[in-house]
Structure 1
Amino acid sequence: MRVWLVTTVASVCLMPGIALSQGAPAGSAVQEPASAEESTANGTGLEEIIVTAQRRVESSQRAAVAINVVDGAALLKAGVTQADRLNEQVPALSIQPTSTGNLIFIRGVGNFTLTQNSDPASAFNYDGVYVGRPTGTVGVFYDLERVEVLKGPQGTLYGRNATGGAINVIPVQPKPGDFSGHGSLSYGNYDALIAEAAVNIPMGDDGALRISGMRSKRDGYNRDGTSDEDIAALRVQLKARLTPNLTVRLAADHADLGGVGTSVGYDGHYVYNPLAGRYAFAPASVPASDGVLTPLAQAYRVTVNAGPAGRKLDPLAIAPYQNNRFYGANGLIEWTTPIGTLSVIPAWRYNKLDYLATSGAFGALQRETDEQYSLEARFAGNRVGSIDYTIGALYYHEDISADVALSTSASAAFSNARYVTESIAPFGRLTLHLNDRVRLVGGIRYTEDRKRFAGTSISGAIVCQLRVAGVPTCPNAPLFPVVETPAQFPFAFPAAGSPPVPLRVGGVPTGALLIRGDRNDDQRLTNRRVTYRGAVEFDLAQQSMLYASVETGYRSGGFSAATGFETYDPEFITAYTVGSKNRFFDNRVQLNIEGFWWEYKDQQVSSVRPDLAGRITNITQNIGQSRIRGIEVEARVLATPTTLISGDVQYLDSRNKSFTYVNQNSGVPPLTGCIATLDTAANRYNVDCAGKPGFNSPKWTLNIAAQQTIHVGDFDLVASADTQYRSSRYLGFLYLPEQRASGVWRSNAQLSFGPANGNWSIAAFVRNIENNRTPVFSSTQPIANILVSTRAAPRTYGARAAVKF
């Protein structure tokens, strides 16, 4: 354990223990907590938040893990309908929205790809079920109990692909014997309409049916209509206590994602200067908030060279859309026995994707089906002597079929692929109570992943052979349009195995060659790994706890349809954590401190670049090792019975210890903000990014919030405001100076009014008061070297009405 980690919480360890009136002794059963409104109104202090992050029910203040929790009321108040809005709530979290899903980073651990051949680095779990595809993380943010964000590897309880952490999205469950419900409707600028409703119908004293739904629709934030939202979702749950010892819950959900989808805007492009031996950046003559389809954006596009084609780009002649469908069904069977409780979770999820995206300033057409099914069983045994234990196993199967067609103007690619993953993982965890105040925790998990990849791909490239003053010049050469098959090109495409052919238009040579490449893949691999956790927990007082842990994580290896990079190995992370959780002054002050040190090795990083055959493709490779360390301090103060103040500050020091990859020599150095050295013998460039900070790793993140309740007779007027600051951070793989986002503040405010019993309320809100449309995702179009970015939402405002019964 690093010495500096111990010192980060030493001052807390030396604090005198202060017994709090609200706390339960260590190891005692957790009672159902009062709501935030009840706790504040009654003057009883800060509310308790119940979590299941460690596969058991406990107060978040008794969970000896690094965790942030956002309850359902806060999500509704913030208007969260998509995962990326969680960025505002959790300092350690960075979610980059794209047209095909969400790129999730926790303290810089994540990945820049949503392709089928790569797994996410943070586990996304919906209702206790692991969701394998980042595309499947939409349409679930409604009628939620809470969202738990676990920071750091979760190798024992959550398993594979949780090297960065885990996000647990937990819906409200049916409540037997209770007839209740709620509804809310908000409307704001950009014609934004969000409706959410739920009803809980009792079925006797031991059962209930819960039906909930959500509809969110608004215009695009970009001037070309892109970055809009069009979601409709429904969830149905049935829960029954069949016997005093047997409870069954069944759930099904469906979501439609329509509209145009998230897109990008132009930041500029890079031009190589052979005399200076470097690239110069030319800022775009169009605001990034235009998107890429306005007349102004199209006029800028046709001024940019189309790389090796020897001419300017054509306008984007496409109409992006998304027509994605998501389905799921899962169950929870709980059987209480004299020796413990058995929980069985069967689940099935199915995604059907059909979209045409412009998120890379080129057209990408994709039709994909993802199907997964899993079965998890856990047995939480009753205490045996001084030992609590949990044992279990998970079986997971995923099947992906995808057809992709894309065009970057001077290049095109068509692929048909199938990916199959089968994973098994037995696991166990035990807690040894040395005495009433000290506990030792140990956990272990064995994971075996079997994967198969089979597919075919066809690529095309247009390369100008004519030179004018040494510059490729083929103004009459056509470019690749976005089509579903090569047969739809407006010019003849070579047959498989053909050598490069002269490209002609109307029988007239253009001076360019048309090059075809074909690739067939049929690969298998198996990865096995043992991950573990060791921890010690010490109760300083009734509501003051100190903990220290070491935990390992593992992300499975996989495939790349790229020559020279066909497979990649698993990545690993080891996390050391020291923390303290405390409540003081009659439960009115909460202070949590966490110090962390992560060692990350064989880091998987994905990027779009030439493979060793010169084809532009997505490559995932083990190219890095990094060290991630820092401190996070979270405080909440109930200053008066009606005044709540909270703050969370994180200091993050993320640094690449090694970060190297190769880039095929195309005649000019690769575009990068790192050191590139030509290996003449191998005819390739070695790129070294060692010493650079990790991606999406702001050194400082600060969240501050305040809420004031004013009693007006039997009514409450509640004013709340919050602000977040994130310092500068790199958003893109190439570490270009223009991919470093500046530090930024974003603030929100809300004023609500309603009866003290909360049966109804009306509210007015404004978000992103500063109207900072800073970039949240940055990438380059690899042929034309265009830099594009996705921008944060602009200032939004509106009103909301809510009712519950």
Structure 2
Amino acid sequence: MNRDKKLKSARLAKAFLPVPLALAMSQPTFAQDKSFMLEEIIVTAQRKAEGLQNAAIAIDVATGEDMIDAGITDMSRLGELSPALSVQSTANGNLVFIRGVGNFTLTPNSDSASAFNYDGVYMARPTSSTGVFYDLERVEILKGPQGTLYGRNATGGAINVIPAQPRLGETSGYITASYGTLEDVDSNSFTTEGAVNIPLGENTAARISASVVNSDPTFKDGTGEEDTRAFRFQVLTEPSEKLIIRFSADYAANDDTGAGITYAGKVEYDQVSENVFYDSNLDYNEGIYTDASQAFRRNTFSLPGATFINDMGPEQYRDNEYFGAHVEINYETDLGTLTVIPAWRQAELDYLSPAGAFPYLQKETDEQFSFEVRLSGSAGIYDYILGAYYFDESVEIDTALNISSIASFLDNEYTTESFAPFARITANITEDFRIVGAVRYSTDKKASKGVTTGGTIFCTNLTMDPAAPCIGAPLFEFAESPEELAMLPAEGAGPNFYTGASPIPMLPDWNIAVSRSDLYLNESLKNERATFRLAAEYDIAEDSLLYASVETGYRSGGFNPATGFETFDPEYLTAYTIGSKNRLLDQRLQLNVEAFYWEYTDQQVSHVATDMDGRTANITENIGESEIMGIELESRFLLTENTLLSANIHYLHAESTDFVYQEPFQGTPPVTGCDSEQAGPVWVVDCSGFDSYNSPEWTINLGIQQTFPIDDDLSLILGLDTQYKSERYLAFQYLDEQYVDSVWRTNAQATLESFGGGWSVSAYIRNIEDERTPNYLNSSPSTNLMITGTSLPRNWGVRFAYSF
């Protein structure tokens, strides 16, 4: 369908969006023999073009129009459209979980559990999803491991973002602009995107797209603002009937603060009550740089009349740039279609964010090159896809973390080289019955080289009042490198000693020692794994499909810049699925159902921890096994040619059947809701039996859309949608405070649209209930401070769109 010249029939079933159930929104079409029906969407999730209802996989789809109407400009709100998807938005990027499978970190020493693919190119770093959600054809969300066609790091699934491509012989385009405001926050937003398609002769066309997202701060301390700019240029040419070549280059940049956070409180271990939570009593949008937040921070770490913590230091910022270019070549041969995709991407990251109560700086350069080749064809009863994939990545990273009495620095380079041949064969046993077999063999080579440096201030005054140790002693100032930290001893030297008078009368003078530790990293590893898919598909009727499959996935191991946690192993997931896709009532009713069972072993979890030498680091551990099962029901019903009903019900039972990890022994037990036991120099924490984090048992999306034709060229479209998420844990420590209640959120929209003139005006309101639930609740092991980021409050706005 031509997005730039929308037909009336293609719009009548489009509920005012953001209908979460607009996922895979089937639009009505009109035929001579049938008055109206749901239209099919074409997807390429299985590396071939096919109708969504013919794709025998678990998949949700949002069209480009869905994304515009829902106001989704990045990954953070994509979970509103897919019940299986949960996204945690942080100051540094977005953490993605599909049916409870995901990762808690954005640092490059570990990989995402869900593959993010932009225009057919795998992006290794989660932050690289910035600035690609504009001028889209569709977004595909694949649920479950994609170990054969997508390969490594797709244990949870895959997210495919497919931009609109140039069209030959057509001059067209569109522009949209929206203005919105957030209730009780005094924050406004402006978003615009557009594209123009230009023919360059008979066989060539270019498409130029751009996007600007600008929003005021949503937190009192000035954080939570966004200023993102993005640009894309494509050229498509068909030199002959057999050859199509498309070139694409893109650029995106952030220059803002990123998402804001607030102190939820502090958790401390108490011998009587074990974990005791002290509520910060701060507003959800307080931020951490306001006077009220800084007072809470100081009181948390201070005694009356004395301060044991430095000022917060430099404020949060984000200054990131992203570049990319790739070519897609499709050539028709006697054996089938040969597809070749060489691609290059680079990101320059520079951001400072609050790690709990302290500043964390990260500067990073990511560069990746990939090359994929596929041959798709048929021979007798067999359809086949044969291919190979090569990936090479280099990440240079420098980080600095200041915890006043502890300083941690990392200067490291991570490299990854991966190669994987793969094959998929479909045997068409009969006209209605097919068997699918696929296999992929991945070889991943990783290396880590660099140094992590830690500095620690010790109080050596043994005669001091234990309630007020070393009052008045100097603390570490924020520094970007060990060389800039004046108090830190030289490498290899003994500790530096400092003495001074206490500022409090009657208290002893302070005596401190400053020590330094350096851990040199020069490691390499190699992981090899065969993943497979075996499936059966049966067309039980013309518009009814029954399918069953078993598929495996794996996420490679890696390194930690931490003593005692130097490496971690790969994780594995096996998924069993049975489902059915149906069109009934002359294709006015769509009814799909899927049941699934996943076995998740050697599960990786990433978190901030203190290593055996006292340094604070982001580490990844293998913590055990999980069992994930559930059922999903999705329905669309075109009640009349102007009335569309939609429902999606997702039931999920995800349990950590074997969840054990370690924390270094530091006197008191670690702050956790799980059982813990000391074992030599470590605490062994056992969270077995808990529900998996970020795994709501029930997610329900409901929607209704009604179109009122005014005349032959004008229609009013009204829509209402709502989403329910049941209670769930948001973090792996399983503290009571990290358990959030169930919530309903409802959105409404009205659109006045002229089909002939190509314009529309919309008004919307989102989160009518004004529910402000946490997106995440993380507790830092160094401070036990709990930070939180919340969903947006009630907001409303208007949008204008014009196409030609």
Structure-1-length-normalised TM-score: 0.92
Structure 2 counterpart of 1:691, one-letter code: G
1:53-78 alpha-carbon deviations (Å, 9 max, x no partner)? 00000001000000000010010001
1:130-178 alpha-carbon deviations (Å, 9 max, x no partner)? 0000110110000000000000000000000000000000000000111
Counterpart CA distance in 2 for 1:36 and 1:758 is 21
Counterpart CA distance in 2 for 1:619 and 1:66 is 32
Counterpart CA distance in 2 for 1:685 and 1:40 is 68
Structure 2 counterpart of 1:483, one-letter code: A
Give the direction of change, closer, same or farther, for the CA distance of 1:410–1:739 in structure 2 (3 Å limit): farther
Aligned match of 2:725: 726
Aligned match of 1:755: 754
Structure 2 counterpart of 1:362, one-letter code: F
Question: What displacement does 1:513 show?
Answer: 3.2
Structure 2 counterpart of 1:173, one-letter code: Q
Question: What displacement does 1:530 show?
Answer: 0.2
Aligned match of 2:7: none
Segments of structure 1 that go 5 or more residues without pairing to the other structure are 1-32
Retained in 2: the 8 A contact 1:387–1:432? yes
After TM superposition, list the pairs within 5 Å mapping 1:240-251 onto structure 2.
Answer: 240-251=237-248
1:367 matched to 2:359: no
Question: What displacement does 1:461 show?
Answer: 1.9
Question: What displacement does 1:187 show?
Answer: 0.8
Partner SS for 2:294: helix
Structure 2 counterpart of 1:93, one-letter code: L
Counterpart CA distance in 1 for 2:481 and 2:31 is 62
Aligned match of 2:13: none
Structure 2 counterpart of 1:70, one-letter code: A
Counterpart CA distance in 2 for 1:247 and 1:45 is 33
Question: What displacement does 1:36 show?
Answer: 2.9
Question: What displacement does 1:473 show?
Answer: 2.5
Question: What displacement does 1:364 show?
Answer: 1.1
Question: What displacement does 1:666 show?
Answer: 0.6
1:226-248 alpha-carbon deviations (Å, 9 max, x no partner)? 12111000000000001110000
Tell me which of 264, 269, 272 is aligned to 2:269. 272
Give the direction of change, closer, same or farther, for the CA distance of 1:195–1:564 in structure 2 (3 Å limit): same
Give the direction of change, closer, same or farther, for the CA distance of 1:472–1:541 in structure 2 (3 Å limit): farther
Aligned match of 1:15: none
Partner SS for 2:141: strand
1:321 matched to 2:322: no
Question: What displacement does 1:87 show?
Answer: 0.8
Aligned match of 1:521: 521
Partner SS for 1:300: helix
Give the direction of change, closer, same or farther, for the CA distance of 1:372–1:137 in structure 2 (3 Å limit): same
After TM superposition, list the pairs within 5 Å mapping 1:161-240 onto structure 2.
Answer: 161-189=153-181, 190-240=187-237
Question: What displacement does 1:369 show?
Answer: 0.4
Partner SS for 1:685: strand
Retained in 2: the 8 A contact 1:414–1:485? yes
Tell me which of 380, 389, 394 is aligned to 1:394. 389
Question: What displacement does 1:507 show?
Answer: 11
Counterpart CA distance in 1 for 2:341 and 2:540 is 37
Question: What displacement does 1:613 show?
Answer: 2.6
Give the direction of change, closer, same or farther, for the CA distance of 1:732–1:403 in structure 2 (3 Å limit): same
Question: What displacement does 1:316 show?
Answer: 1.4
Aligned match of 1:579: 579
1:58 matched to 2:68: no
Counterpart CA distance in 1 for 2:307 and 2:150 is 51
1:490-515 alpha-carbon deviations (Å, 9 max, x no partner)? x5221223344434469996344323
Question: What displacement does 1:403 show?
Answer: 0.9
Counterpart CA distance in 2 for 1:448 and 1:58 is 30
Partner SS for 1:623: strand
Question: What displacement does 1:744 show?
Answer: 1.1
Tell me which of 488, 497, 516 is aligned to 1:493. 488
1:774 matched to 2:764: no
Counterpart CA distance in 2 for 1:629 and 1:593 is 14
Aligned match of 1:600: 600
Aligned match of 2:612: 612
Give the direction of change, closer, same or farther, for the CA distance of 1:763–1:40 in structure 2 (3 Å limit): farther
Partner SS for 2:296: helix
1:441 matched to 2:436: yes
1:295 matched to 2:291: yes
Give the direction of change, closer, same or farther, for the CA distance of 1:311–1:686 in structure 2 (3 Å limit): farther
Partner SS for 2:53: coil
Partner SS for 1:323: strand
Retained in 1: the 8 A contact 2:173–2:195? yes
Give the direction of change, closer, same or farther, for the CA distance of 1:328–1:43 in structure 2 (3 Å limit): farther
Aligned match of 2:131: 139
After TM superposition, list the pairs within 5 Å mapping 1:706-745 onto structure 2.
Answer: 706-713=704-711, 714-745=713-744
Aligned match of 2:143: 151
Retained in 2: the 8 A contact 1:399–1:420? yes
After TM superposition, list the pairs within 5 Å mapping 1:660-671 onto structure 2.
Answer: 660-671=660-671
Aligned match of 2:565: 565
Partner SS for 2:299: coil
Structure 2 counterpart of 1:549, one-letter code: S
After TM superposition, list the pairs within 5 Å mapping 1:786-797 onto structure 2.
Answer: 786-797=785-796
Segments of structure 2 that go 5 or more residues without pairing to the other structure are 1-23, 182-186, 504-508
Tell me which of 321, 338, 344 is aligned to 1:342. 338
Question: What displacement does 1:376 show?
Answer: 0.2
Question: What displacement does 1:212 show?
Answer: 0.4
Retained in 1: the 8 A contact 2:28–2:641? no
Structure 1 counterpart of 2:767, one-letter code: N
Counterpart CA distance in 2 for 1:551 and 1:645 is 33
Counterpart CA distance in 1 for 2:672 and 2:521 is 30
Retained in 2: the 8 A contact 1:635–1:647? yes
Retained in 2: the 8 A contact 1:322–1:356? yes
Question: What displacement does 1:322 show?
Answer: 1.0
Aligned match of 1:697: 695
1:721-757 alpha-carbon deviations (Å, 9 max, x no partner)? 1111111111112111111121111111111102134
Aligned match of 2:15: none
Which deviates further from its counterpart, 746-755 or 71-80?
Answer: 746-755
Structure 1 counterpart of 2:74, one-letter code: Q
Retained in 2: the 8 A contact 1:304–1:784? no
Retained in 1: the 8 A contact 2:722–2:744? yes
Partner SS for 2:101: coil
Structure 2 counterpart of 1:89, one-letter code: L
Partner SS for 1:282: strand
Counterpart CA distance in 2 for 1:171 and 1:506 is 65
Question: What displacement does 1:463 show?
Answer: 3.3
1:392-418 alpha-carbon deviations (Å, 9 max, x no partner)? 000000000011111123321111100
Aligned match of 1:79: 71
Partner SS for 1:534: strand
Give the direction of change, closer, same or farther, for the CA distance of 1:35–1:666 in structure 2 (3 Å limit): closer
Counterpart CA distance in 2 for 1:249 and 1:752 is 35
1:571-622 alpha-carbon deviations (Å, 9 max, x no partner)? 0000000000000001110011000000000001111112223322222111
Aligned match of 1:13: none
Question: What displacement does 1:253 show?
Answer: 0.2
Partner SS for 1:586: coil
Counterpart CA distance in 2 for 1:360 and 1:439 is 54
Retained in 2: the 8 A contact 1:40–1:642? no
Question: What displacement does 1:366 show?
Answer: 1.4
Which deviates further from its counterpart, 746-755 or 161-170?
Answer: 746-755
Aligned match of 2:19: none
Aligned match of 1:638: 638
Question: What displacement does 1:705 show?
Answer: 1.2
Which deviates further from its counterpart, 621-630 or 41-50?
Answer: 41-50
Aligned match of 1:90: 82
Partner SS for 1:191: strand
Give the direction of change, closer, same or farther, for the CA distance of 1:356–1:248 in structure 2 (3 Å limit): same
Structure 2 counterpart of 1:708, one-letter code: Q
Counterpart CA distance in 1 for 2:498 and 2:705 is 67
Counterpart CA distance in 2 for 1:147 and 1:40 is 28
Partner SS for 1:738: helix
Counterpart CA distance in 2 for 1:211 and 1:250 is 12
Retained in 2: the 8 A contact 1:408–1:781? no
Structure 2 counterpart of 1:399, one-letter code: S
Aligned match of 2:544: 544
Counterpart CA distance in 1 for 2:316 and 2:593 is 46
Partner SS for 1:288: coil
Structure-2-length-normalised TM-score: 0.93
Question: What displacement does 1:279 show?
Answer: 2.6
